[in-house]
Amino acid sequence: MFTEPAQPPLPPTGWTSIFLRADGLRAGWRLAIFVVTSVSLILLTLTFLSRLGVPLPTSSSLTPTSALTEELTKILVTFAVVMLMSQIEQRPFSSYGLPLRSAYGAQFWRGTLWGLVMIAGVLLAIAAAGGVSFGGIQLRGWRILSQTLLWALAFGSVGVFEEFFFRGYALATLADGIGFWPAASVISALFGALHLNTRGEGWVGVPQLFLVSMFFCVTLRRTGNLWFAVGMHAAWDFGETFLFSAPDSGIVAPGTLLRSTFHGPAWLTGGTVGPEASVMGALAVVLAMLLFARLYPARSDDADS
């Protein structure tokens, strides 16, 4: 029995075309729903936890446990919103860059190694130029192990949240509307600009944050998911804050491993912002991006958009 093939849906006309296209809601509106819903729920949940007396990071108090609590809250809320959006869009959760079957697999640990080597290289280069002195180890006994573990968990959560929020659902959805690389540029610019809300961050750090974000986008494009970027992001922050006791977006955390002191011009050390505003940091990102591009060839869909 002959069956006529299904006809593709007709594109909407008139005023409805502002909101809809042939396959559903336009990408811009989906992105707006995601941002408004997730940010609102995150703020409401954190406010509720604060009123319950749950310790959360403040401008004057930062601990690995308070940071971990905040980041896990943001992860759970974001995951819940994206799962809802995936049902509305009839797309698998894995299509937003963070397939759970690959969680903390080989790509994550490769990214972790890259992040540690990069931040160590930056700090050693700054030290060689006379911009930092590494003091003795501040922690003793069991606190070395406990603080290492807690900070690793905290920054691991930072990596998951920031990568999935910016370069997961947001990037995938915006790319559906304007193409991958234009969307990556917009997301990276926003990623850098939003860090200005962080105490101690300044405009001098924004260009490197844009560059780092574009590097993360390259790793997503070349590896097929965000796990490499999650590992690299987490390891960079962990090394910067805990191992080397450097400012991270202007914040110097207590209870870190070394007693480092920074001196010299801001172009070398990054000043109060930290290594992300240093010339050495920018150079490290550029070199790492070039090396990554050589080691991870472009995939067949890399030229799209």
- pLDDT tens digit sequence for 85-136: 999 898 999 999 999 999 999 999 999 999 999 999 999 999 999 999 888 8
Q: What is the CA radius of gyration of the chain?
A: 21
Q: Report the C-alpha gap between 274 and 197 in whole angstroms.
A: 15
Burial code (b: 16+ CB inside 10 Å, e: under 16) for 2-15 equals eeeeeeeeeeeeee
Q: Report the C-alpha gap between 64 and 153 in whole angstroms.
A: 8
Nearest to 253 by CA among 68, 127, 121: 68
What end-to-end distance do the CA atoms of the chain give, in Å? Answer: 41
The CA-based angle 229-232-237, given to 5 degrees, is 125
Which residues fall within 8 angstroms of residue 65, CB to CB, at 6 or more apart? Answer: 55, 150, 154
Residue ranges covered by each domain of the chain: 14-295
Long-range contacts of 135-143 (CB under 8 A, 24+ apart): 135/258, 135/259, 135/260, 135/261, 136/258, 136/259, 137/257, 137/258, 137/259, 138/245, 138/255, 138/256, 138/257, 138/258, 138/259, 139/255, 139/257, 143/255
Q: What is the pLDDT along the chain (305 residues), one digit of tens a residue?
A: 445 455 555 455 554 555 555 566 788 889 999 999 999 999 999 999 999 999 998 756 788 999 999 999 999 999 999 999 999 898 999 999 999 999 999 999 999 999 999 999 999 999 999 999 888 888 888 889 999 999 999 999 999 999 999 999 999 999 998 999 999 999 999 988 886 665 555 556 678 889 999 999 999 999 999 999 999 999 999 999 999 988 877 677 878 888 888 888 988 988 878 888 889 999 999 999 999 999 998 866 565 55
Where would I find the beta strands (DSSP E) of the chain?
20-21, 24-25, 132-133, 261-262
Helices (H), 129-226: 142-164, 171-178, 180-194, 206-223
Q: Report the C-alpha gap between 272 and 50 in whole angstroms.
A: 29
**pTM, full prediction:** 0.88
pLDDT in tens, 164-186: 999 999 999 999 989 999 999 99
Q: Report the C-alpha gap between 245 and 261 in whole angstroms.
A: 8
Q: Report the C-alpha gap between 75 and 45 in whole angstroms.
A: 12
